[in-house]
Structure 1
Amino acid sequence: MGDVCGRRGGRDIAVEGRRRTAMTGVLVVAVMLLQSPAEALSEQALAAAQRGDTEAAAGLWRQAIEKEPKHFASLFNLGVMLHRGKRQIEAAPLLERAAAIEPGYQVHLMRGSNFQQLERREEAIRAWKAALVYQPKNVKLMQVLSVEYGRGRYFHEAAAMARAALRVAPLEQNLYFLAIKAYQDAGSQTPAAELAAEAAAKFPQSARAQFEHGYYLQKRGNTEPAMRYLRKAMALDAKYEEPFFFYGDLLVKQMKWEAALGPLRQAIAIRPEYSPARVALARALSNLDQLPAAVKELEEAAQLDPKNAQPWVMLSQMYFRMGDEDRARDAKETSQRLRRENPTVLEAPQARPFPGN
């Protein structure tokens, strides 16, 4: 009895297995019938791309697009592959067509990256702004937009974007610095100073935050409190050159020549190409009657910043004081030539509005 039951159970299981296999086959056939030729080609292209056969993938995606010109997956994936392969010109129209069919975060993000590589900044910004609509709290994208606005000298837009990001991530100190720099470039000192004070209070262990507050205090003539914040920044980070330079420069302005030497030399030790620090150091040395040392710093500054007339103006004065009238005259002529050739070298970049805002 047991054997019979056992055999009967085996036949039942086998029959059930054949039924399931048959049903699976029916489903596969049904899926294949439902799948469009473009979708089938797109899947083959994706498999080829994953194997690293990009030429085969490109050919298959192009076939899919030929069969179905509005096939989003083929347009988008081919565009992405071409973009990553540094074929941005070919990628651009494909990504545009994909965005027109199915606009979304990923396609707009990729359009922005493609436009950026093509140095089409305004179009990149517009594409990234379109992406931001789908992820309005994407802080990384906001940072990218703020930086790109700044590169295009759209400083007010850069600052506004950084401040929008701060509302989403108020503890991200780099967003403060991004906004401060944008306001500074735009010539908007008051909001820059307010943000710097807020950052210094919020991030007391950040050398950059303490420096920014000190910098804006000295810009407003509040020298003593500025120097306190600059000293704190120097203590927090001995390898951050800006606090050392501005502290030393303030000492030079206060005619504390000897005291200025240490911080200015430290700034130069950290960043040897720091031309303004060399000019400030030369000014302190010259007032201490260390003229050869001052000349050495100025000659180095002139090499580091060949378009800047300031080192040559001071060199003319130093050479004259040393009795070398020929070199003094040559240095003066060089300074005058540089002023004519580079009239805007000392001017701040001017802000401009983003077109179409």
Structure 2
Amino acid sequence: MSKQKERGLIKIGAMLLSFGMVLSPQLAWGQGLQDLFRQAEEARQAGNYRGAEEIWRQVIEQDPDNAPAYLGLGNRLRDQNKLEEAIAAYEKAIELDPNYAFAYVGLGNVLRSANQLEAAKTQYEQAIELNPNLPGVYWNLGNVWAELGNLEEAIAQFRIALKLKPDSVPVYNDLGDVLLKLGNVEEAIAIYNEAIDLGSQYVSSYVGLGNALRENNQLEQAIEAYKSAIQFNAFDASAYVALGDIYYQQQDWQQVVEVYQAGVNLQEDYRVYTALGYAWQQLGNLERAIAAYEGAINEDPNGVLAHYNLLESQRLLALEDASNAENDENISNASDDPSDNEETSSPSDDKNEVNSEDPETPSPLAPIARIITPVANGVNIGTGWLLENTEDRALVLTSREAIAHASSLENDQIQVEFFQPSETGILPRYSAQLMHITPEEAPTNLVVLQVTGLPETIQPLEISTELGDREVELIGHPFNTDPWQTVSGNLDTDAQPVKITANLAQGYAGSPILNQDQQAIAILGHVGAVNPETETPFTPAITETGVVYPMALIQEQLEAWGILGKDIAGK
């Protein structure tokens, strides 16, 4: 539900006006109090909630037992987000008049604002018991039920509200939203159309209709609904975003960038910036993709996907610049000495191919892999480490989380990098094939990748099955900083599974756990705690805990796969 709709739902003044109700004092006021009431309402309409609050306090000063005055005061306090004071004002109104239904409604509204949904529901139900003919209260109660997850009960309350006031467009919109969530798509379409036929003044009616049509795979009709929403109100970002989502689904990247750009110009949003960046990337405009990803990170610094996609776009741009520079140099050489044209080599057609010949001794970081796995909207980055490198094969050990929990990927989808100097400063990448993966119910979430074309100069990490060290190190690729980062941690070997405490972030999954002799004694299987009741464990962007699989446990799995040779087991 949009913020615009939510504000309309729970402001008692707006609700009363929407349903044709009039707040009338229960006491016979003198002319002076009537003037103050009028002034308070005029201040509210002008948005001067502080001024309206002061006027209501004047009313209360002159008539301390006036329940409607406390209701008016509570409403204006709530408008200023003074929730505790508002609650006290509504409770005072109820104390003065226990049968004052509107006071229960006001109290329910402020409790809902404070996310005290059960308490809000109780107040709305009390108001209905006192006055069962208030359609707005059924509306608010329905929304509370929806927020509590009881969609069937929400529908029941919305239908009562519409029975009492059949022309209430906002209720139709919310009813359509709930029906759509329940999968009643055809009925949702009918409800949104009914709101539009009533002359809806809400963009949400057209956006809701578009959402339902899209769910029903009526994409062209959904596009028209979203366009109608934009024509109705060109300054509401939701319609642009919804329309952009359809173009994204159709991979119409040019339309995506046009529509999403209009949306983020109206309302900056992490998800839209990220999708906009991916669309620019598909169009080959890497500079604009980078700018969009930077906009996403500015909106949410812990947005993992935007960080990963930004790094990938920056790498692609660097490769593009290097290729252009090489072309310019070749052209310059050909121009300087035409006789050398036949001997001038042309640049490689594969932009990802980088000169990886390294005559020097490989870096100690070389066995640590940086694993790049494509996902729906970009890439996932994780860590692994070289387990074996022979003439026949090179094997990398990692975890499910490091490859985005994928269970099956095409052979050429995963790529890995190792820390090797290169002429361009861009690390070479190697294709990796998913060779082995543990089933979901296994005690470990291990993955073995087979890498193609890895130089034999890169040697595996030394391993040990002794888990004696409590103080350890990890080397990984956290999403929010440079890769190949080392972090210290402490093992809790008494826990089952073994846990580590360290400054971790997404991207560290699959990292080797190193003892003081720089031997791999375990692997970081999962960033964050694991809830056994959760099928897919939640991975926080930043955390202080992780789940560790000791090398002895890993060795059992590797032996079961038949890939742990004596040369490795003996180390």
Under a length normalisation based on structure 2, what TM-score does the superposition of the two structures give? 0.40
Q: Is 2:538 the partner of 1:343? A: yes
Residue 217 of structure 1 aligns with which residue?
A: 213
Question: Structure 1 residues 222 and 142 mapped into 2: Cα distance closer, same or farther (>3 Å)?
Answer: same
Aligned residues: 279
* Equivalent residue for 2:134, pick from 133, 138, 142: 138
Q: 1:281 pairs with 276, 279, 290, which one?
A: 276
Q: 1:306 to 1:142 in 2, by over 3 A?
A: farther
* RMSD value, Cα: 4.4
Alignment check: 8 A CA contact 1:160 1:179 kept: no
Measured in 2, the distance between the counterparts of 1:206 and 1:81 equals 27
**Equivalent in the alignment of 2:160:** 164
2:185 and 2:215 in contact (8 A); partners too? no
Match for residue 270 of structure 1 among 263, 266, 272? 266
Alpha carbons of structure 1 residues 344 and 124: separation in structure 2 relative to 1, 3 Å: farther
Contact 1:95–1:111 (CA under 8 A) maintained in structure 2 = no
Residue among 119, 123, 127 paired with 2:119? 123
Secondary structure at 1:289's aligned position in 2? coil
Residues 40-119 of structure 1: pairs in structure 2 closer than 5 A: 52=58, 103=99, 105-106=101-102, 108-109=104-105, 112=108
**Correspondence list, 1:22-37, <5 A:** none
In 1, the alpha carbon distance for the partners of 2:251 and 2:304 equals 23
The reply to whether residue 237 of structure 1 matches residue 233 of structure 2 is: yes
Q: Which has the higher helix share?
A: 1
2:90 touches 2:103 (CA, 8 Å); kept in 1?
no
The corresponding residue for 1:27 is: none
Structure 2: gaps of 5 or more residues? 1-32, 34-55, 78-83, 320-424, 430-476, 484-504, 510-525, 529-536, 541-571
Paired position in structure 2 for 1:295: 290
How many angstroms apart in 2 are the aligned matches of 1:307 and 1:125? 35
Q: 1:235 to 1:53 in 2, by over 3 A?
A: closer
Say if 2:506 and 2:539, in contact at 8 Å, map to a contact too: no
Is contact 2:270–2:299 with CA below 8 Å preserved after alignment? yes
TM-score (norm 1): 0.60
Q: Report deviation, 1:157.
A: 3.2
Paired residue type of 1:287 = Q
Contact 2:117 2:148 in 1 (8 A): yes
Match of 2:248 in 1: 252
SS in structure 2 opposite 1:293? helix
Q: Determine helix, strand or coil for the equivalent of 1:133.
A: helix
- Asked whether the equivalents of residues 302 and 308 of structure 1 are also in contact (C-alpha less than 8 Å), the reply is yes
Equivalent position amino acid for 2:117 in 1: R
In the TM superposition, residue 154 of structure 1 has moved relative to its aligned partner by 4.3
Structure 1 position 181 matched with structure 2 position 177: yes
Relative distance call for 1:142 and 1:261 in structure 2 (3 A) is same
Instruction: Show CA shifts across 1:165-187 (max 9, x none).
Output: 12222222111222233445566
Report the residue type matching 1:298 in the other structure.
Answer: Y
Question: Which whole-Å CA distance do the structure 1 matches of 2:183 and 2:123 have between them?
Answer: 28
Higher relative contact order (CA 8 A, sep 6+): 1
CA distance, structure 1, for counterparts of residue 202 and residue 91 of structure 2: 46
Distance verdict in 2 for CA 1:310–1:169, change over 3 Å:
farther
Greater fraction of residues in strand = 2
Q: Which runs of 5+ in 1 are unaligned?
A: 1-45, 59-72, 346-357
Letter in 2 for 1:175: V
Separation in 1 of the partners of 2:147 and 2:127?
A: 20
Cα gap change, 1:330 to 1:90, in 2 (>3 Å): closer
Contact 1:139 1:169 in 2 (8 A): yes
**Aligned 8 A contact 2:87 2:107 in 1:** no
Task: Decide whether the 8 Å contact of 1:96 with 1:111 is kept in 2.
Answer: no
Amino acid across the alignment from 2:292: E
Cα-to-partner distance string for 1:271-297 (whole Å, 9 max, x where unaligned): 1x1222222221221111111210110
**Matched residue of 1:216: which SS?**
helix
Report if the CA contact (8 A) 2:527-2:539 is conserved: no
Q: Name the structure 1 match of 2:15.
A: none
Percent of matched pairs sharing the same residue: 17
- 1: CA distance, partners of 2:57 / 2:289: 64
Shift in Å, 1:307? 4.2
Deviates more, 1:312-321 or 1:232-241: 312-321
Equivalent position amino acid for 1:208 in 2 = S
Question: 1:106-126 CA deviation, whole Å, 9 max, x = no partner?
Answer: 564465467558764323321
- Distance in 1, matches of 2:183 and 2:153, equals 13
On the 8 A contact 1:257/1:288 being kept in 2, the answer is yes
Determine the C-alpha separation between the residues in 2 that align with 1:146 and 1:297.
39
Quick check: 1:88–1:118 contact (8 Å CA) kept in 2? no
- What's the CA shift for 1:301? 0.9
